[in-house]
Chains A and B, each alone.
Chain A
Amino acid sequence: MTETRLRSRKSPYPLWFFLPAAAVYGVLFVVPTVSSLWFSLTRWDLSSAEFIGLENFRQFFSEPFLVKGLVNTLIYALTTSGLKTICGLLLAVLLTGNIFARGFLRTLVFFPVLVSTIGIGIAFTVMMHPTKGIINAMLETLGIPGPGWLTNPALALFSVALVDLWKGVGLATLIFIAGLAAISPDYYEAARIDGATRFQQFWRITLPLVRPATITVITLSLIGGLRSFDLIWAMTRGGPGFSSDVIASVIYKQYQAGFYGLSTAGNVILFALIAIIILPLTVWLNRREVEQ
């Protein structure tokens, strides 16, 4: 009844409420996104754009260091996402259990999420210094020779990924804690009566029931990982060489060098990568959820 009365009169929910947000979002986000599809096909100096077809994309995929950026992006996103999901879940199980100083520990794990990424990046760059850094100094006292975390090309990307884990695991943990809190204790009680071990309880009850949180964490950290720029830029600038370059840092470098068309092509490739990975993943994960 309410519905019909509201509809027969002029709606009290004015559509113009969409306008201010739509104007800002449309002009500053949608227009550049759509026009990037065009500019990626041009040689562009910001004032005039000359159409060159798929030349930028051909160049992108024929330059080994640019392709390296693409591969690194995938490695980085999968590594950080996988680690955050696993460590986040384990930490959440630990921090919802009956342990000493639980509140304090939660705070401790979560705090780095709020701190400046650049600040963290610089601090860890110093701590990961191959000879003077405290991380290697600590390893040395344990008798382990510390690696050149950021100077070894085979290691640099993973070192940054570890710092990303350190900084971001708190958010994953928080989401898992919220997910775990939603599981009814009755399940665990029934399982205990049936004599299930703690591991069985985790595998058969916790893991399936915490699924929505898992989906959120995986999607979230994948998107974050694919887009990540600031930590990598603060720590390695994509180096040594191009060993830790990702698409986002390639976009920045090409922009700095004045190759605006190529930079924009990098952006379009990043759009495509995110869409190709995230859209099917979302559909697939949500369908499995419905089936259960």
Chain B
Amino acid sequence: MRQMRPYTSGAIALALATVIFVLPFVFIALQAVKSKSEASRLDFTLPEQWLFWDNLAAVFQARDYQLVLAYFNSTLITVVSVTILILFSAMVGYVMQRRRTRWNAVASGALFMGLMMPPAVVPTIGLLQEIGLFKTITGMILIQVAYNLSFSTLLYRSFISTIPRDLDEAALIDGAKPWQIFFRVILPLLKPVTVTNIVVQSIAIFNDFTNPLYYLPGKENVTVQLTLYNFQSMYTSQYNLLFMNILLVTVPPLIVFIFFNRQIVAGMTAGAVKG
């Protein structure tokens, strides 16, 4: 009896979890490969015709290959902002953890604010217009850096405390300049937390919808999430294409998750204060 228990409770949990967490994804995948008329019935059946490639092509071709542009824009924003984010937040985390100055209190306060407070959107738009960065990819990148700095810095600050100061000392005695200590000694040692940061922030920025909606309007600037949002009204009669689109944004995080499971879990639990 006692030995049976893990299996029975496990089986019940597995069945429930399958219904609750797997069925929605199966449903998405099924609609995505159906024909237009079949998908419009929105029922849970296997497709009579499997139109995976047709639907995939149709979604990519829609509106002059807008989705291709969207993938390009989203990837560009994600890669550049994560790169800047890594560099800036590692620098801040390092000095905050190592050097005791009165600026630390200011920086801690700023970190806390950044995690908690929503951005003031309209004044930000006004400011971006003022400096000529509204509706530009550059502006969007800098916004993503500003909004995600707190979380990255927090991860770095706690990780840097595990690196012994003796290393800094040794490098200093060997004649390294301060910036060399950081870039040649410390930064390479931060690799595990850097990977965590890259993975968690890439997912967050790639999936971001609200900020591109506000700061990056315009057809030529469209991102993947905005495309999906626009397709929602465009495809009300073509659920197969709408769901193919949803499938396309679901696959990248799935792949990332399969490869970086450990880093994601570490990153999410370590600081884990994101709206």
Contacts and interface: CB of A to CB of B under 8 A. Distances in A.
Interface residues of A, number: 86
A201 interface: no
Interface of B: 6-7, 9-11, 13-14, 17-18, 20-22, 24, 27-28, 31, 41-44, 87-89, 91-92, 94-95, 98-99, 101, 103, 107, 110, 113-127, 129, 142-143, 145-147, 149, 153, 165, 168-169, 172, 178-179, 181-182, 203, 207, 209-210, 213-214, 224-225, 228-229, 232, 239, 242-243, 245-246, 249-250, 253-254, 256-257, 261, 264-265, 268-269, 272-275
B21 A109 contact: yes
A25 B274 CA distance: 17
Interface of A is mostly: helix
Interface stretch (A60-68, A142-150, A224-232): A224-232
Interface string A79-121: 0000000000000001001111110110111111111111100
B99 A267 contact: no
Contacts, number: 254
Given A15-B95, A39-B122, A99-B10, A25 B110 contact: yes
Contacts of B7: 100
B11 A122 contact: no
The binding surface of chain B is classed by DSSP as helix
A24 B118 CA distance: 16
Contacts of A98: 6
A260 B122 contact: yes
Contacts of B272: 171, 175, 216, 220
Nearest to B42: A132
B127 A31 contact: yes
Interface stretch (A151-159, A270-278, A284-292): A270-278
B142 A24 contact: yes
Contact of B146 (A24, A118, A133): A24
A35 B123 contact: yes
A168 B109 CA distance: 27
Given A123-B28, A132-B42, A220-B274, 20 more contacts: A11-B99, A13-B94, A15-B95, A17-B94, A25-B110, A29-B119, A100-B10, A105-B13, A105-B17, A115-B207, A116-B209, A122-B246, A126-B239, A129-B42, A174-B265, A174-B268, A216-B272, A223-B116, A229-B210, A230-B210
